[in-house]
Amino acid sequence: MNKFQKMMSVTLAGCMAASALMMSAGAVNIPADTSPAYMAEDSQVTTHILSFEEMNAITPYKTESAQVFLARNNSAGDQGTACGEFTADAKNASFMITYAPATATYNVQLYRYMSNGSATRVNAYNKLTIGVGAAFSNLQVGATYFFKVSSSDCPVKGTNANYTLMTY
């Protein structure tokens, strides 16, 4: 073995040892929001369908109205556009698409951001008529959530839609 090969093998062995130490140290810390207890709290999020009148009867802490691009979804309903990001200041939130041209229905799902930057769906998707909302209860106060929306009957190229989000 020449001098260069010896130096290279010692360097590589050192990198491998450091890598093994880093893997075991990194495996010890499990982020709090991916623990079984925290995930069990996500499973307690419930959904209730709200009529336009029920939605308007809510006295919210916060209200947000904005636009979102409503894309055509796949058959599972799990594709779509993220919108309405919020940090839960209360245990309940409601979401409704109030207007979407040439569209009769929409799909909505609620996701929660994890500490590692990924997101997890906390409820199955709901297919709703435009002007009908969904209320999500038992949210984790302080957690950050967002909605993913799509439609199976919007124009093929999608459409712009108006939505309202309330926390209460």
Average pLDDT of adjacent 10-residue blocks, the chain of 168 residues: 58 51 39 42 83 92 96 77 96 97 96 92 89 96 96 95 97
- Strand partners of residue 119: 113
- State the pLDDT at residue 76: 65
Classify residue 52 as exposed, middle or buried by CB count within 10 Å of its CB (0-12, 13-18, 19+): middle
CB burial readout 21-51, b (16+ within 10 A) else e: eeeeeeeeeeeebeeeebeebbeebebeebe
CB burial readout 60-94, b (16+ within 10 A) else e: beeeeeeebebbbbeeebeebeebbebebeeebbb
Domain ranges of the chain: 1-30, 33-167
> What's the pTM value of the predicted model, to 2 decimals?
0.73
CATH class of 33-167: mainly beta
- State the pLDDT at residue 74: 73
Chain center to CA of 157: 23
- State the pLDDT at residue 156: 94
- State the pLDDT at residue 16: 52
The amino acid sitting at 48 is H
- State the pLDDT at residue 72: 92
- State the pLDDT at residue 126: 86
What does DSSP assign to residue 160? E
